[in-house]
Chains A and B, each alone.
Chain A
Amino acid sequence: MPKNNPAKPWRVIPGFGLTLGLTLGWLSVLVLIPLTSLFVMASGLTLDQWLAIFADSRVQAAFRLSFGGALVAALINAAAGLLVAWVLVRFDFPGRRLIDAMVDLPFALPTAVAGIALAALYAPQGWIGQLIEPLGIKVAFTPLGAIVAMVFVGLPFVVRTVQPVLEDIDSEVEEAAASLGAGRWQTFSRVILPTLAPALLTGFALAFARAVGEYGSVIFIAGNFPGLSEIVPLLIVVRLEQYDYVGATAIAAIMLVASFVLLLAINGLQRWNRDRLSRGAA
């Protein structure tokens, strides 16, 4: 083999073959092989059994809550996370660093602890629960509770992806918009938001994925009533406890495929958005 392969650009740090090999090996051990085994196990099911699982209203309800709830939670997080990032970047106030550090707590806190705390707060006798109960809003032990927990665990993702991009926005761009006659809302919606859009979309996707996979905090607050406030991960655990291993892996496989398709779609959206912004740019 010639030493100088013209098709292969020279790089300061070589080793494409080695690093790619390690990457694939690592991913195989950690991700691909366990997931493949999931599909192998699930493949023991006959078509009729698959159809029965799909037709089960309890399974359907769990999927609706897991994905629907995660979508709602991610949307709420996109808005709230943008607001938090905005406040942290744009304003200097006493305690800003403290709040900045607090944003990461949902990362570190064991989710079961968060779930218990949230359940205690939103229970009918809890601090928040007793305030909103008279208004007819029930959070604890309802699907709403699941969404509250999903919002909690997803918040840092949006804040941490939006924050650096927001910091990068030059205040001169906003001043330019103002000097051209744009109002505050126009400056925000036409200048700032489009610039933040890719980061916001990434944060949204991460928060969504986190909410779909969330287990610990949700099961403590949602009440887990079958067909009402039961999430897919819990349903899988329930099946396992009933020694229905095949049923559990089947539901897990469906969940995996659904998550993968959704994340792929979001990824595509990001790519499209990025290409639109830097068309042809070097």
Chain B
Amino acid sequence: MIEVQNITKHFGAFRALDNVSLQVPKGKLVALLGPSGSGKTTLLRILAGLDAPDHGRVILDGIEATEQKARDRGIGFVFQHYALFRHMTVADNIAFGLTVRKGKDRPPRAEIDRRVAALLDLVQLSGLAGRYPTQLSGGQRQRVALARALAVEPRLLLLDEPFGALDAQVRKELRRWLRRLHDELGLTGVFVTHDQEEALEVADEVVVMNKGRIEQIGTPAEIYDQPATPFVYRFLGNVNSLPCAIHDGRAEIAGLSLAIEAPNSGGEGDGIAFVRPHDVELRPPADGLPRAVVEQLAILGPVVRADLLLPGNISLEVELTREQHTHLSLAKGSSVGLSLRRARVFAGA
């Protein structure tokens, strides 16, 4: 297991990491997700030994490694911009980690060649062994970088925005491929991303970071369905944040009264309610049902997005299926009744 404890790191006056602790279980693929400046890359670099923390400890498989040099850690690192050795062929790049070993640790040439061939096969680049990095596409380069990192059989593979520099189509392919690769090899990995879709699709566990702190750790489903903080709510997916008044365990948003969800909102007074667009149910207007006016309708393939205006000039974004849309016969300016399937209230936010 890979573990960091109470890591703090400053760059000048800027606090990049603030007392961060994290465990990466063996065989899991963990995503560090957050906006830029949230400290995720710094955490990755500290794990790799490329940066030293001001405080805190790094523990690799039960052994204190805070002071250990990057070259002794046995951790593979894949950079966003590949960082390939441009004067070496693809094969030499991949073999580098093996050929720099000394004495007994260095495998014989034939063994190195065999492993390079196997890795080329694994990253689906057989036949390109003799090429130079400048002759490859971005996606191919990133796969070479991955093969190079895997060649030394690292105990942990770190990927810093591995698909960030690639175009959307290649990115999509590569992340599915990475997930399959992970399942086949069973390696332990941590990757940094600011793309929530990437994190949710590829990772076993997602760590949401903000301003040098961890906001939430959980499976993709937990992170999406039960965000722990307003930040996680806003960062993951589309969400309506509605000002509300909390009173006697109920939150009231512009006449929509909803039962409060316990743990986060013990307070009274002002708060914010988070509602996902697909958690709003629209119905024909009826007595006793809160109403809204349809401001805008957009048909986005399989779903319809409706921008509603609640009393008190509060706008609310709603997603509904094409069938619902037809059934309700919504039109711009028409009145509609609504109820909330699910919402989360944070007091004082």
Whether B221 sits at the interface, judged by CB under 8 Å, is no
Whether B13 sits at the interface, judged by CB under 8 Å, is no
Which of B27-35, B75-83, B113-121, B331-339 participates in binding chain A?
Answer: B75-83
Which residues in chain A, 66-91, are within 8 Å of chain B measured between CB atoms?
Answer: none
Which residues in chain B, 34-93, are within 8 Å of chain A measured between CB atoms?
Answer: 48-50, 69-77, 79, 81, 83-87
Cβ-defined contact, B132 with A278, below 8 A: yes
Q: Give Cα distance in the complex from A280 to B81, angstroms.
A: 22
Cβ-defined contact, B97 with A181, below 8 A: yes
Q: Give Cα distance in the complex from A204 to B151, angstroms.
A: 37
Whether A19 sits at the interface, judged by CB under 8 Å, is no
Whether A178 sits at the interface, judged by CB under 8 Å, is yes
Cβ-defined contact, A277 with B71, below 8 A: no
- A175-B50, A178-B69 given as contacts; is B75 within 8 A of A280 (CB)? no
The contact size tier of chain B is 20 to 34
Q: Taking the nearest CB of chain A, how far is it from the CB of B146, in angstroms?
A: 12
Whether A182 sits at the interface, judged by CB under 8 Å, is yes
Q: Taking the nearest CB of chain B, how far is it from the CB of A270, in angstroms?
A: 14
Q: Taking the nearest CB of chain B, how far is it from the CB of A279, in angstroms?
A: 6
Cβ-defined contact, A175 with B100, below 8 A: no
Cβ-defined contact, A175 with B83, below 8 A: yes
Whether A142 sits at the interface, judged by CB under 8 Å, is no
User: Across the two chains, which residue of chain B brings its CB closest to A277?
Assistant: B87
Point out the residues of chain B lying under 8 angstroms from A179, CB to CB. Answer: 48-50, 70-71, 73, 75-77, 149
Q: Taking the nearest CB of chain A, how far is it from the CB of B28, in angstroms?
A: 20
Cβ-defined contact, A172 with B79, below 8 A: yes
Cβ-defined contact, A176 with B79, below 8 A: yes
Chain A count of residues within 8 A CB distance of the other chain = 22
Q: Give Cα distance in the complex from A176 to B145, angstroms.
A: 9
Whether A241 sits at the interface, judged by CB under 8 Å, is no
Q: Give Cα distance in the complex from A195 to B148, angstroms.
A: 19
Cβ-defined contact, A180 with B152, below 8 A: yes
Cβ-defined contact, B132 with A277, below 8 A: yes
Point out the residues of chain A lying under 8 angstroms from B224, CB to CB. Answer: none
Q: Which 10 A-B pairs have the closest CB atoms?
A: A180-B97, A172-B83, A179-B77, A176-B83, A281-B134, A182-B100, A178-B70, A194-B87, A178-B71, A186-B100
Chain A residues within CB distance 8 Å of chain B: 170, 172-173, 175-183, 186, 190-191, 194-195, 277-281
28 contacts between A and B (CB under 8 A): A172-B83, A175-B48, A175-B50, A175-B79, A175-B83, A176-B85, A176-B145, A176-B148, A178-B49, A178-B50, A178-B69, A178-B70, A179-B50, A179-B70, A179-B76, A179-B149, A180-B96, A180-B148, A181-B97, A181-B101, A190-B100, A194-B87, A195-B87, A277-B86, A277-B132, A278-B134, A279-B132, A281-B135
With A170-B81, A178-B70 known, 20 other A-B pairs at CB within 8 A are A172-B81, A172-B83, A173-B83, A173-B84, A175-B50, A175-B77, A175-B79, A179-B48, A179-B49, A179-B50, A179-B70, A179-B149, A180-B97, A181-B97, A182-B96, A182-B97, A183-B71, A195-B86, A277-B86, A278-B132
